[in-house]
Structure 1
Amino acid sequence: MNLILWRHAEAEDIAASDLARQLTTRGRKQAQNVARWLRARLPDDAVILASPAARTIQTAEALTDQYRVVRELAPNASVEDVLAAVGWPEGIAPTVLVVGHQPTLGEVAARLLSNEEDRRSWAVKKAGVFWIKSRERNGDGEAVLLAAITPDLV
């Protein structure tokens, strides 16, 4: 399976609630630029899952209107919540893109790529992407980093 972790783009600091925070003008541009990069590489059957936060939904909508909002991906979700939602390592689909939050996405990347159980989080810049592939090698499952990008690089 291909697992793509996409952090929401830049959002306003203040709103009625954390879930209501909207993308800034800069954030919309970031999301559009990264969406263009993703669109050129995503297979047609990719499944897109988004947190219920407005900023993640707006980030996903820069890519497509075909996404599912998953309550378990809300801010402060656990690594286990994300991995269960995507069905890692077999996957609910061959390619699953998660639009979510820090520190959760950084924790997922750290767990899969370092193969450690601790709670360290890798930094993921706003609108940044980690593209990770699961594979089997010598009878053992492993995760391989295929791409790590930021909106500044696309």
Structure 2
Amino acid sequence: MLLLVMRHGHAEPFSKSDETRALTEEGRKEVAAVCEQRASELAQVKTIWASPFVRTRQTAKIVAETFEREVEIQEVLTGDTPLDELLDALADADEDLFPLLLVSHQPLVGSLVNGLCGTGDEHPMGTSSIACLSADVWARDCAELEWLQHKP
């Protein structure tokens, strides 16, 4: 199975709350550029899950509109979710949802990629970074990093 993990695009530094921070124009362009560079891989995605925060919903919407998909909001994708809680959600997910794209925040995206691959903090996840992992089961140290794309 394939799992793609994406960090939201560059967001405005301040808002009423962290949850309401929106993408900047630069962030929108970065996400669109990553979609263009990884078009063949992203076209295979069957399901998109996004954090409920504004900037992740906006990031996921750019991907979804580009590849004619729907976005499902998942509370488990907020940045401070314990990694084991997300791993449980992935383990419970039906195989028909894969390839699955998750759009979330730091530190969760970095913890997920590195935790699944058993790589400590070897693979940084900057804004608009996207990683593709393959595994038979979604558990710590059980995945292989297929590729990692940073913003252009």
TM-score of the pair, normalised by structure 1: 0.82
CA shift digits 1:85-106 (9 cap, x unpaired): 3337974622111000111111
Q: What is the rounded CA distance, in whole Å, between the counterparts of 1:144 and 1:89 in structure 2?
A: 19
Is there any run of 5+ residues in structure 2 with no aligned partner, and where?
Answer: none
Q: Is 2:78 the partner of 1:74?
A: yes
CA shift digits 1:96-150 (9 cap, x unpaired): 110001111111111111177xxx58421110011100048xxxx8311111011
70 and 121 in structure 1: CA distance in 2 versus 1, 3 angstrom threshold: farther
**Contact 1:6/1:97 (<8 A) preserved:** yes
Give the number of equivalent residue pairs. Answer: 145
Q: What is the rounded CA distance, in whole Å, between the counterparts of 1:115 and 1:31 in structure 2?
A: 25
Q: Which amino acid aligns with 1:127?
A: S
* Higher fraction of strand: 1
Counterpart residue number, 2:3: 3
**Contact 2:134/2:145 (<8 A) preserved:** yes
Structure 1 residue ranges (4+ consecutive) displaced by more than 6 angstroms after TM superposition: none
- The worse-fitting range, judged by mean Cα deviation, of 41-50 and 102-111 is 41-50
Match of 2:97 among 93, 97, 106: 93
Is there any run of 5+ residues in structure 1 with no aligned partner, and where?
Answer: none
Q: What is the rounded CA distance, in whole Å, between the counterparts of 2:119 and 2:47 in structure 1?
A: 25
CA shift digits 1:7-63 (9 cap, x unpaired): 001000100111100001110101111122343223555211000000001101111
Counterpart residue number, 2:115: 111
45 and 98 in structure 1: CA distance in 2 versus 1, 3 angstrom threshold: closer
Where do residues 138-153 of structure 1 align in structure 2 (5 Å cutoff)? 142-152=142-152
Report the aligned-residue RMSD: 2.5
CA shift digits 1:58-83 (9 cap, x unpaired): 10111115110001111211212222
Percent identity at matched positions? Answer: 26
- The worse-fitting range, judged by mean Cα deviation, of 40-49 and 93-102 is 40-49
